[in-house]
């Protein structure tokens, strides 16, 4: 059920990162360098991250991700925030607004377990020709873990919910 994710170009002007976990951000910082990108588009998710190891104030998730990107060699001026997002649907909706102006194709970074739903939402907004997908491999050893099973089951139900909402059978609020 995975889309064709092997068609990445040699260079992208922009690399977009969907929030969710720091692994996506780390991979985006690598791709930023290897694809000679000019910008990283970072989802502005306003969820707070508590720092229990020190007495510093909590950060918004996107602020934490900015710190990770900068610590991995991405210039702060190359990081552009988009949207005020709470979920994947809102992230892709916000990205669709980026494409209202003429823009080059972007490379979107997310997890392998997440990519099928992302592709369906991209198709919904008619952006398949403007976005290439890059899947972060969360399980390079190919071991089945409890967390992986949870991720795939949750994604299955979120994808099912997406289809039901599109059919206007709103059983569960979009997430």
Q: pTM of the prediction? A: 0.80
CA-based torsion, 3, 94, 26, 78: positive or negative: positive
Secondary structure of residue 82 in the 3-state scheme:
strand
The backbone torsions φ and ψ at residue 152, rounded to the nearest 5 degrees and listed phi first, read -70, -40
Count of domains in the chain? Answer: 1
116 within domain boundaries: yes
> What's 149-170 look like in SS3?
HHHHHHHHHHHHHHHHHHCCCC
Task: For residue range 102-150, list pLDDT tens digits in order.
Answer: 668 899 999 888 888 899 899 989 998 899 999 887 666 666 777 777 8
Spatial separation of the C-alpha atoms in residues 123 and 47, rounded to whole Å: 27
Considering only residues 134 and 5, tell me which one the structure prediction assigns the higher pLDDT. Answer: 134
Band of residue 1 on the pLDDT scale cut at 50, 70, 90: very low
Decide if 19 is inside a domain. Answer: yes
58 belongs to a structural domain: yes
Domain contains 174: no
Kindly report the CATH number assigned to the domain that includes residue 84.
3.40.50.620
* Range of the structural domain that residue 102 is part of: 14-138
DSSP H or E stretch at residue 135: strand 131-136
Whether 111 maps to a domain, the answer reads yes
């Amino acid at each position: 059920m995975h889309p064709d994710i092997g068609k990445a170009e040699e260079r992208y002007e922009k690399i977009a990162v969907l929030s969710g976990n720091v692994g996506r951000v780390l991979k985006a910082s690598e791709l930023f360098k290897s694809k000679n990108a000019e910008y990283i588009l970072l989802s502005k998710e306003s969820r707070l991250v508590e720092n229990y190891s020190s007495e510093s104030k909590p950060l918004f998730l996107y602020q934490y991700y900015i710190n990770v990107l900068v610590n991995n060699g991405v210039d702060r001026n190359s990081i552009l925030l988009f949207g005020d997002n709470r979920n994947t649907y809102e992230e892709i909706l916000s990205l669709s607004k980026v494409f209202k102006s003429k823009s080059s194709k972007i490379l979107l970074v997310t997890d392998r377990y997440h990519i099928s739903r992302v592709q369906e939402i991209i198709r919904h907004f008619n952006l398949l020709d403007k976005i290439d997908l890059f899947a972060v491999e969360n399980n390079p050893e190919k071991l089945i873990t409890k967390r992986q099973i949870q991720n795939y089951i949750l994604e299955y139900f979120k994808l099912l919910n997406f289809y039901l909402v599109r059919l206007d059978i709103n059983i569960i609020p979009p997430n």
